[in-house]
Amino acid sequence: MTTDERMEKMEGQLARVRWVNRCLIACIVLVLAVWFILNTLGPETAWAGSSAKEIRANKFVLQDENGKSCASLCLDNGWPFLLLGDENGKARVLLMATKEGSLLSLRDESGNPSVGLVVRKDGPVLQMEDKNGKTRAGLGVSNIGPTLSLFDETGKTRANLSVAKDGPGLMLFDEKGKSRTELGVRKDVPCLVLRDENGPPRSIVGTGGKRRVNIRGQAGQVLGLENRPGGG
């Protein structure tokens, strides 16, 4: 890429940033203006001279000086929906409330989801997607505890870090999505489990009062067992 092409790309990115900033500033100014009028004059004085006590509509659209829509507030299947767009008409920010929970979606310049935050009855979930629309990272908090999951380009889970009531745990998966390595601490006792491609554990290392090494064959039979004092 030449210097001129880099400069042109940077100017385009700056233009898009300025457009989004103008839309956000316009929204903030509108909200502050309404707040100032209502708090200075009071709702009754603000609406004096008019028989209307409230504004009712199915949709609100915010436009710039050129008539382009950059934000809208409407109902989607009966639920409130806020959309902020860029100068190309692509949706960049979506905020929605539904029966299942609330949703915040941040999108790239093509309008594809990049970051999503969902709050449901069982807890919040944060998801990050790549340019191909594949989820690559997810962070959630449930009744069990927090969980961080990392995914490859095919969408398969490759790493999982969680903290449960009985302790933290780390799981590593192969390209087929099978667990191959597990590391955890349960009730202050660390344990490492290594599995083969078929799933059965092949090596188990744990420490407690004694350090324990358990090596197994393909059928799960014990091939070697060693117990040593924890400090040995």
pLDDT, tens digit (0-9, with 9 covering 90-100), for 93-138:
999 988 888 999 999 888 888 999 999 888 999 999 998 889 999 9
Which residue's structure tokens are 């001279």?
49
**Segment 147-189, tens digit of pLDDT:** 999 999 998 999 999 998 888 999 999 998 888 899 988 877 8
Residue 146 has pLDDT above 90, yes or no: yes
Q: Which amino acid is at 11?
A: E
**According to the model, what pLDDT value does residue 223 have?**
44
Q: What is the DSSP string of 153-206?
A: TTS-EEEEEEEETTEEEEEEE-TTS-EEEEEEEETTEEEEEEE-TTSSEEEEEE
SS3 188: coil
Rounded alpha-carbon distances, angstroms, from residue 59 to 51, 54, 73: 21, 15, 6
Model confidence, pTM: 0.62
Label residue 222 by pLDDT band (50, 70, 90). Answer: very low
**Segment 21-50, tens digit of pLDDT:** 666 666 566 666 655 554 554 555 544 555
For 227, list phi and psi in degrees, rounded to 5.
-120, 130
